[in-house]
Amino acid sequence: MSSVTPDEFIDYLKRSALLAPREIDAASVEIRRAVPKALDDATRLASEFVKRGLLTEWHVRQLLKRKYKGFTLGRYRVLGRLGTGGMSSVYLAEHDITKRREAIKVLPKPKAEGEYLKRFHREAQALASLSSPYIVDGYGADERDGVHFVAMEYFDSLNLRQLVEKLAENGEALPYEDAASYIRQAALGLQHAHERGLVHRDVKPENVLVNERKEVKIIDFGLALFVGSSVTPGSEKRILGTADYLAPEQTVDSHNLDARADLYGLGATLYFCLVGRPPFPNGSVPERLLAHRRKEPTSVFAERLDAWNDLLQICAKLMAKNPDDRFQTAAEVVDATERCLVRHGFATPFDFGRRDADFANLGDGDLGVDVEGLFLSSDAASKLLGADKLDVPDGAEVLSSKRLSADDDTFLKSMGF
């Protein structure tokens, strides 16, 4: 039994402005006639409003906790929470005129200043400059009573991390043809962004969405870098991105990057799709950053003996330490993954608008990448070879500089360790 009485529930509902008073009264009369006992219990009464499509389960949970504010934002009626990140929250909302359901990313008032606000505006600007079926559409940005928000396309989906983990719960792994298709589509999205002078800087499984039709869209351009921009926020001297998927050059300088940094993140994302974990899953943040600079991931063959050799070549080339050794453009990744899918019989050249001649002489290993040489380790290397650890005041563990090269020592010092 809810601690909220039925009368209190109706009072909070009227205060919320979710429904017009006449709608609430009409629904109450109908419920009294059809389910009279519902009027004796707030939870049951609330469920009747949900059954009639007047409220969502999220609305009801909030109202039964005596929370009745924040259900509207500008011209939007908020329907529920889709997710929360370190900087903002994303809600499902309905525009009061178009009735279109959209995803609304909201920046909390306490963070609506300084670098947080600049980053938020950067994402709105990035989305406004892009138009690709492989990137979520941006519908605009606004501010109401100090609350900043960006309206975006609502894409009913899971992200790649959720998808792979859901499969793992059932003892399954992502099929190779799906992994190749998802990376191909993500590469098409990145190609579009790169051609418009944008580097995403945070390509990872969580930022690649996949729906039930196996369609892909890239999200979260909050760290997007406009190449050639003359304005560099002061805090960008710090490392920006996610440690598990960060390109080696991005661990040194998060601003002077090109599109190939995104391709490394795409390769690390492919690696996650194949084995269900990041390339370097163990150790402290600085250890993992250094691993991206110096180590090779555990071989995918150690976990999946039937892995497609050519797909691993794509992964290995994407994750080359030196940007010059990677694919140089996302378009090259698209081409390689299409060839991979055709070679294994999961597509034809015509599926991609190609001719048979475009895929002539398809042989295994046509990328010229030595997989065993690049993914040599047979066990998960959680630490760098011969590295000592030091306890630091905040409880983090960092590598002892006495066993590192001068270059790595400089790198750690630049990070503040």
Would you say 167 and 174 are in contact if contact means Cβ atoms under 8 Å apart?
Answer: yes
Give the separation between CA 162 and CA 182, rounded to whole angstroms: 14
Q: What share of the chain is helix, strand, coil (3-state, %, to 5)?
A: 45, 15, 40
Catalytic choice (142, 145, 202, 262): 202
The residues near 9 (Cβ < 8 Å, ≥ 6 apart) are 2, 42, 45, 46, 63, 64
Left if phi > 0, otherwise alpha if psi is -120 to 50, otherwise beta: which for 295? beta
The residues near 208 (Cβ < 8 Å, ≥ 6 apart) are 159, 160, 182, 186, 216, 217, 218, 219, 269
**Burial annotation 59-74 (CB, 10 A radius, 16+ → b, else e):** bbebbbeeebeebebe
Q: Which two tokens stand for residue 394?
A: 């905040």
The answer to whether 202 is a known catalytic residue is: yes
The residues with which 199 forms a beta bridge, in sequence order, are 225
CA 56 to chain CA centroid, Å, is 25
Residue of 316, 293, 318, 296 lying closest to 404 (CA atoms): 293
Q: Which two tokens stand for residue 34?
A: 């059809």
Name the residue with tokens 């300088």: 253
Catalytic residues: 202
